[in-house]
Amino acid sequence: MSQLKCIIIDDDEIDRLTVLSYVKKFSFINILGVFSSAIEALNSEFINEADILFSDIDMPELSGIELRKKIATIPVCVFITSYPEHAADSYEVETFDFLIKPLNFERFQSTISRIEMYFSMLHKANLYDKIENQDEIFIKEGHTQIKLNCKDILYLEALKDYTLIVTPTKKHCVLSSLGNLLKENHFNSFIRIHRSFAIQKSFIKKIGTNDIHLNNDILLPIGRSYKENLKLIV
């Protein structure tokens, strides 16, 4: 994979250095800048070049969430904070992941793996074609086309302007937002349960308070603002 560029922002020096030391362990990430405030980062010449933003939330003058609103063009934003109560607000500003301090390397490594997969998917993103049978779509992969039956799709996962179409055997990335896909007749059997996920009722095994269990031992979160949609399931 080609080099990804990141910036790191935290007003706490120890936390800032911790994130820096962790990021340095991944050779495919180039660190453009390390900043002690959102204002400092915003005024940096690197701000529009970054692929990844690692940022604290509670900072003087300008919070991480306020900063994210100003630089929404950065593809991936990861918030690292001591306050889990900020999680709900963070996902309203295109947050890729939300990490709680003190930062754990194994959890951080998991985030990096997801980031790596995300950019890899973007690099080889497939388009899809509708066909006359509304239960089927064609996924383009290179010079070939694969026909998918929509009834075989376990769930859809949002990746900003792209969507992962997940089947029991493979994940396909298509150049369309989750919101736009759900407007298509092909996906009218899907129910959105989270900002990032939509599922098919037929694959549900169990509904918990905050998550849903699907076939193949898949566990997906239920978003607070989407709990009303559960009435369409039960």
The architecture CATH gives domain 128-232: Beta Barrel (2.40)
Q: CA-to-CA distance for 93 and 218, rounded, in angstroms?
A: 26
Q: Give the pLDDT confidence of 113-148 residue by residue, as tens digits.
A: 999 988 887 776 656 666 556 678 888 766 677 888
**Local confidence band at 27 (pLDDT 50, 70, 90 cut-offs):** very high
Contact 47, 7 (CB under 8 A): yes
Assigned CATH for 4-123: 3.40.50.2300
Tell the residue number behind the tokens 């989407």, with chain if given: 226
In our burial notation (b when 16+ CB lie closer than 10 A, e otherwise), range 112-149 reads beebeebbebeeebbebeeeeeeebbbbbeeeeeeebe
131: its two tokens: 């066909």
Name the residue ranges covered by the structural domains of the chain.
4-123, 128-232
The whole-number pLDDT of residue 78 equals 96
Contact 43, 90 (CB under 8 A): no
Q: Give the pLDDT confidence of 139-187 residue by residue, as tens digits.
A: 876 667 788 888 899 999 998 778 889 999 888 888 888 888 888 888 8
Q: Give the pLDDT confidence of 33-83 residue by residue, as tens digits.
A: 999 999 999 999 888 899 999 999 999 999 999 999 999 889 899 999 998
Q: Of all helices (H) and strands (E), which one includes residue 117?
A: helix 105-123
Q: CA-to-CA distance for 4 and 25, rounded, in angstroms?
A: 13
Using the 8-state DSSP alphabet, how is residue 67 labeled?
Answer: H
Phi, psi of 176 (to 5 degrees): -165, 140
Q: Give the pLDDT confidence of 101-115 residue by residue, as tens digits.
A: 999 999 999 999 999
Percent of the chain with pLDDT over 90: 48
Q: CA-to-CA distance for 167 and 178, rounded, in angstroms?
A: 16
- Cα 47 from chain centroid (whole Å): 20
Q: CA-to-CA distance for 85 and 66, rounded, in angstroms?
A: 16
In our burial notation (b when 16+ CB lie closer than 10 A, e otherwise), range 197-214 reads bbbbeebbeeeeeeebeb
The packing angle between helices 13-23 and 105-123, to 10°, is 50
